[in-house]
Chains A and B, each alone.
Chain A
Amino acid sequence: MPVEHYVALSAILFTIGGVGFLVRRNVLVTLMSIEIMLNAVNLALVAFNRKGAYMEGGNHTGQVFAFFIIAAEAAEVAVGLAIVLSLFRIRRTVRSDEADLLKN
């Protein structure tokens, strides 16, 4: 497939994730939407990397970037879910608009 198809799919997935991030109030779903967006970015990186593989001396830079994004995302999810648990302990809710502990 041409690389444009992969990038279009990546844009569609990123849009879905962005809509979910903005529209949903459940913190867990918000975190999942961030996952969708980062996966879309990974797909675009790997597709562009594949496009460069025709040329002599094509490198793996896009794949290496995707690898580090996966590592960073694992860390982000661990901390994010810990914060969700902490919020649930304090407020007994997972709604993001009730997380106003820093308001006053």
Chain B
Amino acid sequence: MSPFGVAYFYFCALIAVLGAVGTVAAKNPIRGAMGLLAMIVAIAGLFLALHAQFLAAIQLIVYAGAIVVLFLFVIMLLGPSASTPSDQRGRIARAIGGGLFGAVGVAAIALLYMAAPKEKAPLLTSVVGDFGSVDAFGRIIFSEALAPFELSSALLMVAIVGAVAVARGRHKSDGPLHESSPAEALAHGKGLKDPVAPPTRGALEGKESGT
């Protein structure tokens, strides 16, 4: 492999790791989303190096174009309260938890290297036929993987309907559900800690229908 390829891999890997660490460590969720974006773009670059052009494009379109934007949208919708002030657990408990998991990760990587074959692995330079082209990938998707592909569209449809149903909340016009809704009871009762919080949606609508 050319020195350029090696440098490319390490550059993308560095950006991916830094982005992931930034996502996990950021106090402000918006910075976390930016770190996630850096990691996603770096992984798209690695997909390109692995002859997965279609996946690299999908990675940029779906993750960077849709998912990160959705995250940013929700973070900005929540406003300043999206960032939680501080962790209530002690420093030691956090260190133990993170350290244990990190140790398991390091052990997994060490085992991986020990289990790797001793002879030099072939360098990723050549591929057979049209491996990785969008043409070949699309052929597989629409022949062998056609049923899962169609089912994934059903999955996305169900997810959209579910997301709308969950995020919409309950209305007064929904009838008997309103009285028994624990969400509304909590919102009117002890749930609201913020005294200057805006009135809930149900209250506003009740006023409007009364006039």
Please give the residue numbers on chain A whose beta carbons come within 8 Å of chain B beta carbons, in ascending order.
1-9, 11-20, 22-26, 28-29, 31-33, 35-36, 39, 42-43, 46-47, 49-51, 53-60, 63-64, 66-68, 70-79, 81-86, 88-95, 97, 101
Contacts and interface: CB of A to CB of B under 8 A. Distances in A.
B59 A53 contact: no
A95 B29 CA distance: 12
Contacts of B77: 85
B122 interface: yes
Contacts, number: 254
Closest 10 CB pairs of A and B: A15-B105, A20-B24, A75-B159, A82-B163, A82-B167, A82-B166, A2-B121, A16-B20, A71-B152, A78-B163
Q: Which residue, B20, B46, B81, B156, has most C-beta atoms of chain A within 10 A?
A: B20
A28 B75 contact: yes
19 contacts: A1-B1, A1-B5, A15-B101, A15-B105, A16-B17, A28-B82, A43-B47, A46-B55, A53-B127, A60-B137, A63-B55, A70-B55, A71-B152, A72-B155, A74-B67, A75-B158, A85-B77, A91-B191, A95-B84
Interface residues of B, number: 98
B interface: dominant SS: helix
B206 interface: no
Nearest to A18: B101
Given A11-B112, A13-B39, A83-B166, A46 B50 contact: yes
Interface string B174-204: 0000000011001100011110010010000
B124 A9 contact: no
Contacts of A75: 155-156, 158-159
